[in-house]
Amino acid sequence: MQPKLIHFLIFFVFMSTHPAFGQQTLADQISFTRQAVRRLIFDEGQSIPLAKLDPQKIVGMESMHPVAHYLPNQSEISIKQGKLVIESTEKTQTAIWMGGFNPFSTYTIDLNSCAGEGELGFEFSDPAKKEQLFITVRHKDGVLTGTALRLINNARLIKESTITVPGVENTTLKGRIILQMLGSGLVLYLQNEELPQVIGQADFNKDIDLRSKERIHTFQSHLFSSISSGKVSINKAGMALTTGTGQADIRAITYENGEPLLDQGRLWYTMSIRGRALPHHIQGVFSMDPTVFDVKLEGIIVFDRNDGLLRNEVASHIFFDRRDKIWRGITTGFSAYASPDKEKKQLLTIESRKDPRFGFSVMTAAPFGIVGDIEDPHILFDEQAKKWRILTCENHDGYKAVILESAHWNKDYKKIAGPVAHNSTGTSIQKIDGRYYCFSGSSERQIFIYTYPDLREAGVLKMDLPPWSETSGTRVWPNVVQLPEGYPFRFVALMMDRFNYPGLSGPNWSYGALYLYHGK
């Protein structure tokens, strides 16, 4: 046999058994089977503590938790049977120092009991009490009578308003009071034995911008009680970074070429911790061992545009650029909705030398010319084309997938493909057996697959029990990831549903639950 023929046969046998030739899996051939589902709702086991007032562990109350009295009459404060007790027979206002201040954290009061008439909640203020913001629950004889927001500047009342949602008056006040701070707004909940019940909501950005770095650095948080006559008993209070009421916008953290970051045996994800409306969600970071369903909140990220504010942008894609040894990415400037008369929605580049996955992190952010109704970006460096490419959704009579390209990761992007014909959301790029594919959720009860980089239709994702019902929205994020050899399955997908949290008043985007799929 001729040597050339022998070499050809060897090459043919090798290539025919190689994943990239003959045996290659096509994206629309993968079958996904649902494994588990869970909605993280202020999950205490997932909370990252920032500060705590625990009466059972106080020695030296006057130093650990100093007390301020705002009226001539002073309430009596004591610790009895491991409870913090505040009581008075006359009108009093009392603030008990709890911790620093974070406008993206969740504040809780674990209430043991209340009697008489008064208010209970939180005060956020600078040390000199020049600015004071009060968020309170009003009560009488153990019954909730309303919720309120009060803002004081230089001892002058700037704003006082009822923030109660309809239909919650006359609810028995017991259990946990939960205040979810959302940068430019808030939601107030009461949890007894069932789901936390929405009892109040507000936007306060026009009156005071708590995203201000100066306020974040100087404000402090207090447990606040106003008593006409009566007593409140508190098990504990605190502030923490939490899972909120739902998670969405799930995106795997990657390396610069789109390869998923598999660190410490875990996949790492950005997810938006849901609040209420578009400017209120918070960029969370979660991890998960792909062989099980142990989704864990690792931290939150806020963004600094060098304008004196820390912003809660979401729908981010973060990657570690191994060439420059820096964390980078693209986020969606939804915080513009907090000041629509001053700002425009746009994509932003983000960077950090510090690993932003843990605790409370700040990434620098900068505009790069992609302004308008555009969202859900996924960026990678195509090593073959030597170009940076962004798959994203742009509003063309509805959101449609497009691909942008540049020689630079942070400027000069031009559209090279799209828009596609179908409604698009949660667009992402993933390699399947060495070939890039583009995935997109839609409003059409399908997850569409497109070729890369030309966005030609290549089928739909096969899965049992998709993360929607006959009546719910279907614009989910597909988030398909291929695992390396050695795992009991080749593919994993972590998706969400679009069921809004009950009880919120007005428009809200407060979904959803997490759905785990394994693919073969």
Entry pTM = 0.94
CA–CA dist 164, 148 (Å, integer): 7
Helix (H/G/I), strand (E/B), else coil: 17: helix
The residues facing 404 across adjacent strands are 390, 415
Structure tokens at 51: 């500060």
Measured between alpha carbons, how far is residue 477 from residues 139, 254, 401, 466, 518 in Å?
42, 16, 13, 12, 15
Give the span between the Cα atoms of 202 and 365, in whole angstroms.
Answer: 27
Report whether 73 contacts 221 (CB < 8 A): no
Residue 158: what are its φ and ψ, rounded to 5°? -90, -40
Rounded-to-integer distance, Cα 260 and Cα 210, Å: 35
Q: Checking DSSP bridges between strand 457-460 and strand 462-463, what pairing results, if any?
A: unpaired
Q: Which two tokens stand for residue 506?
A: 């007005």
The amino acid that residue 378 corresponds to is H
Which of 329, 304, 326, 305 shows the shortest CA–CA distance to 315? 329
SS3 16: helix
Sign of CA dihedral 305, 309, 310, 312: negative
* Phi, psi dihedral angles at 211 (to 5 degrees): -80, -5
| CA gap 100, 98 in Å, rounded | 7
The strand pair at 254-255 and 314-321 is best described as parallel
Q: What is the pLDDT of residue 31?
A: 97
Tell me if 97 sits within 8 A of 228, measured CB to CB: no
For residue 9, which phi and psi values (nearest 5 degrees)?
-65, -40
E runs forming strands in 46-184: 48-53, 67-69, 76-80, 83-88, 92-99, 106-125, 131-140, 143-153, 156-162, 175-181
How high is the pLDDT of residue 226? 98
In the prediction, which pLDDT does 2 show? 54
- Distances 432 to 28, 261, 326, 449 between C-alpha atoms, Å: 10, 16, 26, 12
pLDDT < 50 regions, the chain? 3, 5-22
Do the Cβ atoms of 46 and 300 come closer than 8 Å? no
Here the tokens at position 379 are: 């960026």
**Token representation of residue 132:** 């004071």
Cα–Cα nearest to 462, from 32, 19, 16: 32
Helix, strand, coil shares of the chain as percentages rounded to 5? 10, 55, 40
